[in-house]
Structure formats: structure tokens, C-alpha cells
Structure 1
Amino acid sequence: MKQFYSDVVQFRGTHYDFGYFQGQQLKDSLILPNREKQWEHRKDRHFIVNPEEYITIISKYSPAILEEIQGLADALDMEMKKAFQLFGGYYLEFTRSGCSIFTDSDFMVRNYDSQPRGYEGRYTFYEPTDHGYAVIGPSMQITGRIDGMNEKGLVMGYNFTHRKSSGDGFICNMIGRLVLETCADVDEAIALLKEIPHRHSFSYIILDADGVSYVVEASPRNVAVRKSNVCTNHFHLLNDENQHRQTETRQREKTIQEQQQHATNPYEAFKVMNNPDHGIFSDKYDAAAGTIHTSVYFPKDLKAWFVIGPDKKPVIFDFKKWLDGDKVNVKQIRGTLEYDVPFVNMEG
């Protein structure tokens, strides 16, 4: 077992200032040089079609994100075209991943399954003072969010379905950020997910303080919505969009449903996902399907749990207290994985 960690990032201020702050941090980080090495062999596939197109489309959904990217570019002394490529979350290649989600009326618990060497190792608290809602959650490609919760109690996680027949559009982590930062409840989130262009096919699972969860099945061609409290890596409504091999994801969905029947409280529901004995936590890291983190969000209480690796007690964050002005004293969240290659924020 090797030790891994996520750095905790906290900021209150404008999007431009947040971008500049993150850019200053990235100067002393291994994230960008390690990412450049990883992307070297596929540079021709993960770039924005053109900056003008990106500015037009991001301005429609969140002009503030554009300000954040400008701040990043200024701090890093980087041309905007490259900043859009690295941080824009539009028309980029995305590594396949697994993921499993279970919701109750009071919480969402989520396993993020992917390839550790692409994991960024940043857990963020951000409260904008210009536009949008405050959000807590792990980041991806700096500006995007893997899962998270906003100050209104809207919770979001996403699950990969496939990337065949991709289209011009936003990738999952930027869509997650836009949902959390611009939507107050599940109705607003559904409306945005129906309107926004999708690069790949993903399910977005949303829950708010009213306690009803929805799965939004989204592809570049269609979007469908269903009420559900379990989601893995296949669609139920957009069946034509599914991959041919669905045995593992359907079995994992069934296992979650069976195992969670016996969970009588949030901690037991968390253990069902995080303890390998229950058959949901995965160590298939080389196949980009190993569990890296488990998140739990409580939309009514505005609390969040987070853990890296298997069978650990979670770090508990009180997002409401942070919103009231308290500072989180945790600097890093540490855990262990059965894998030798580090996150991109770590030494090789």
C-alpha cells in the first residue's frame, strides 16, 4: 500500500482572484508539469476548437469561470489559448472511469473510480463574492469538480458511461462545476443539464435538501431524467447509448441495492461503499476502475465526509461553519491505495 494525499484549498473572493490564487499555488506544484507529461502523446486530441468559440459558450453559462481562467493565466504568465486548453473543460479528451453512487433522502455517498495517476489531489472550498454559490468538493483540471455540494444543499456526482461518438461540448468535471455553482436545486440542475452541450456520455446524479434524487442521463445527442437512488455506469433510459459490455456495472448496481438495504444509518451506508468486503470498492486501478475516494454529502446539514482509499474513517467537514467564516484546519487528507504511481500533485 502506498500513501496518497489531497491538499485542502480554501478561498473567498472574486473568480479572478481565485484563479490568480490557484495559479500562484500551481507555480510551486507538480500538477502542471506532471499533466504535461501525461498528455504529451495525445496533445492533438485535448484542445479547444478555438478560443472565440469557448469564450462565447462559457459566457452563456458562467462568465465568472472565464474570469477565473483569466486569473490563472495571469498568475502563470500563460497565453489564454493554452489556459482554455488546460482549464476550460470544453472539448477535451477524458479518461474513462467507473464510479458508484447511492442516495438516501438525507445524504449521497459516492465512490469515485478511476486511474490514480490522473487524479489531481485537491479538495476545495470556494465562496465567490461576485457571482454564484459557494461549493465544497474535489477538483479536476483545477476549475472542474468531480463531485460536491453547494451552499443551497444541492449535491452532485457523475458516472461515466462512454466516450464513443463524442461531440463538441463541456466535459463532466466542468459540467459538475457549472451545476453546483449556478443551480440552487434539482429542478434548476435538470434544466441546465438539458440545455448545456455534452462532450461525452455521463450520468449526473443530483440531490437537494428536499430529499428526492434524480439521475440525468446525458449524451451529446440526448438527455433523459429518471428518479433513482442508485447509479453505476450504464443508462436505463438512453439504452442505445450504452456500451456493449454492461455485466459488471449492472452487477455492481444490484450489489449496491442489496447491500444498502441493511444499512441503518449514514455511516453504515458509507462503509458499504468504502469497505472492500461489501464488493463495491474496487482495486482495478490499472483498468481506470479503482476506487480513489469516497465522498458523502448531507444537503440538509451542509456537512461532508471524505476519504482516500479503502476502509478508513472519513474526514468530516462542516461546510455551514465554513460559510459562517470558520477556517478548516485540515491541510491535507491522507490515505493509502494498492497502487505505485502517485497522483499528479505528488513526487514520482
Structure 2
Amino acid sequence: MTLHSLKEATPGPRWQALFEATWPAYRAWYLREGSQTRPDLATARSHLTRHLPELVPTWEAMLSLAGGDETAARMLTQWDLPAFLPGCSQAVVTGESPALVRNYDYSPHLFEQVVLSSAFTGRKVIGTSDCLWGLLDGMNEDGLVVSLAFGGVPGSAPGFAIPLVVRYLLEVAGSVREARAALDRIPVALAYNLTMTDATGEAGTAFVAPGRAPEHSPAPVATNHRGRTPEDPDHARRFRSVERHRHLGDLLKRSLEPDEVAEAFLLPPLHSRSYSEGFGTLYTAVYRPLEGRVDYRWPGKTWTRTFDAPDETTDVELRQG
């Protein structure tokens, strides 16, 4: 697996190259259930304009680079995308130098493999790209860090895909408190746990789901179920969500340093090699808001990125367990 780190303040030739390289696969995924199952452009644009207006200028710039393709315009709003359910583990380590540590567990064939450093709305943001401008996890220059994990509750409804919600929070909020306030007004399509921290060390997890008001908790850990008792026990059992959650809690009780916690994320039960089942750990990320850096880690390898780091690639070997 080759990861690409790109630095581009606003969409330009680097983003256009990413679009051209990935659009055939994204288009096939977006239309896999038929074009009529996805919202028309007027509907998708209206929701983006109503709920995430700060992102509209960037969306319009991307449309120009995408050649005005209508299907791309619809998909890039991330309104009512096809469902995807990644498994993840995430925890905030508090102390003098807070950090958010997370594992992203999914199929390597469905991973964009891009770390994007940008300033779409003027605020520097770095994170792991998904759906061309959404983020699986990320941090802004004010020190806010946000990471997503599937929330384990069945069902969907019209709403935004969570990667664009993570992007939006990092564009408009500078603290956990501001991010919570922004979440209260954004409709989401599926259930997710968003774990957050900021430069002050405040931490918590927001559970968001279609048709429900966000539930804000001070819990510094999350896996793939809501609260303590899974609403979908079969899904939780399949992905060992409760086991991983308990392990995270035990780790934080030991008052470990961020690097020590990160080492634990490279081992079972947090680290998974079930890549053929779509549940392999693609990376461990350690976000350090006071230092403005993120360390991507794999067994025996660390790759550090900052807001101003130049473009770079790194190769990683993933081994099926």
C-alpha cells in the first residue's frame, strides 16, 4: 500500500490529479444502486448550501476542476452517499501533551490512501482523506482533533456522509465545545461515534445518528457501538466492539503516555489483520494538537506529517492474519 501526502491550500492541480485517478471507481460506487437512487443535483446542492454553507466555495472550485461533471457534483456534496461501515478504535490520552490515537479498520481496496493538508476556508487542516475531500480523521491549526468510527446502530436516512461532517467541523470549529455546537445542526445519514479533543485537553465522544439529536458524552474512547450496550449485538460481536472498548478503558486507567498507548494500538485486540473481511487495520494515527503533527504508525514504521510538510509518499506492507 502506498500512501500519498499532499499539501494544497485550495483545490488545484494536486486535487485534480486525485480526482482523475479515483473518479472512475468513485463513480461506479456512487451509482452502484442506480442513478435514480441518488439525489438530483438541485436537492444535493440545496442541502450543502443550507447546512454547510462555508464549504460551498470549495465545492464549486472542485466542480470546475472536475469539468462540471453532474454526477461528480452530486457525489461531492456527500448528501445521501451509499452506506459504508468502517470499524475503528479511538481514544484520547489526556495530560500535559494531549493526543488522540485511533485505528482505522477497513478494506484496503476501499481506502483512498491520501493524507491531505489544506486551508479550504483559511484555517489549516490536515487529515486522512476520503470521498475526495471528506476526512476519516483530522486536526486543524487551532488544535481541534476529530476522528470517526461507525456507531453500530442499524438504519439510514437522508443526510450527509460522515467524512464531510468531520471536514466541516475542522473548518468551522476551534474547540470541542464549538464542534459540539456545530454538530447539533447537521443531519447525518448513518450512526457514528465522533471522538474529539483540542489544545486544552478537553475530550469527549459525540454519538450521531439519523433522526436523533447528537448525544454528547465525556467518554474519551469509542469503538463501534453506542454507549455501553450495543444496539446491534451481532454486529458488535462480529467486530469485537465491546472487547476493544473495554481494552481502551483499561489502557487509559494505566495513565500511559501517548506513545505507549499507540504501541498498544499496534497489537490485538485493537490491531486487526482481517483485511479480506474488510476489517484490517490500515493505519494507526496519533494526533498531537499542541505540536501540530500526526504520526501514522504501523508495526516497525512511523510516518510523521505536519501542516506544512512537503508532498511525500510512503510504502506500507499489510499482512493478512
After TM superposition, give the deviation of residue 335 of structure 1 in Å.
1.0
- For normalisation by structure 1, the TM-score amounts to 0.83
The answer as to 2:225 corresponding to 1:234 is yes
Determine if contact 1:161/1:242 at 8 Å carries over to the other structure: no
**Which residue is 2:314 aligned to?**
333
- For normalisation by structure 2, the TM-score amounts to 0.89
Runs of 5+ in structure 1 lacking a partner? 13-17, 323-327, 340-348
Alignment: residue pair count? 313
Runs of 4+ off more than 4 Å: 37-40, 260-263
**Which residue is 1:270 aligned to?**
262
Determine if contact 2:7/2:310 at 8 Å carries over to the other structure: no
Determine if contact 1:263/1:269 at 8 Å carries over to the other structure: no
Q: Distance in 2 between matches of 1:163 and 1:42?
A: 22
Structure 1, residues 291-316: CA drift from partner, whole Å, max 9, x if none?
11111111122221113xx4133212
Query: RMSD of aligned C-alpha atoms?
Result: 2.2
After TM superposition, give the deviation of residue 318 of structure 1 in Å.
3.5
Determine if contact 1:46/1:93 at 8 Å carries over to the other structure: no
Q: Distance in 1 between matches of 2:19 and 2:100?
A: 35
Q: Distance in 1 between matches of 2:292 and 2:183?
A: 23
**AA in 2 matched with 1:95:** F
Q: Distance in 1 between matches of 2:117 and 2:271?
A: 26
**Which residue is 1:344 aligned to?**
none
Equivalent in 309, 313, 338 of residue 301 of structure 2: 313
| Residues 96 and 318 (structure 1), Cα distance of their counterparts in 2 relative to 1, 3 Å cut | closer
Alignment of 1:20-169 (within 5 A): 20-26=12-18, 29=21, 31-38=22-29, 41-44=32-35, 47=38, 49-79=39-69, 81-105=70-94, 106-128=98-120, 131-162=121-152, 164-169=154-159
Equivalent in 277, 280, 289 of residue 287 of structure 1: 277
Structure 1, residues 126-184: CA drift from partner, whole Å, max 9, x if none?
023xx352110111011100100001100000110246321111111011101111111
**AA in 2 matched with 1:126:** S
Q: Distance in 2 between matches of 1:144 and 1:69?
A: 11
Alignment of 1:169-180 (within 5 A): 169-180=159-170
After TM superposition, give the deviation of residue 185 of structure 1 in Å.
0.7
| Residues 329 and 262 (structure 1), Cα distance of their counterparts in 2 relative to 1, 3 Å cut | same
**Which residue is 1:5 aligned to?**
2
Of residues 31-40 and 245-254 in structure 1, the stretch that sits farther from structure 2 once superposed is: 31-40
The answer as to 2:247 corresponding to 1:255 is yes
3-state DSSP class of the match of 2:233?
coil
Determine if contact 1:107/1:297 at 8 Å carries over to the other structure: yes
Runs of 5+ in structure 2 lacking a partner? none
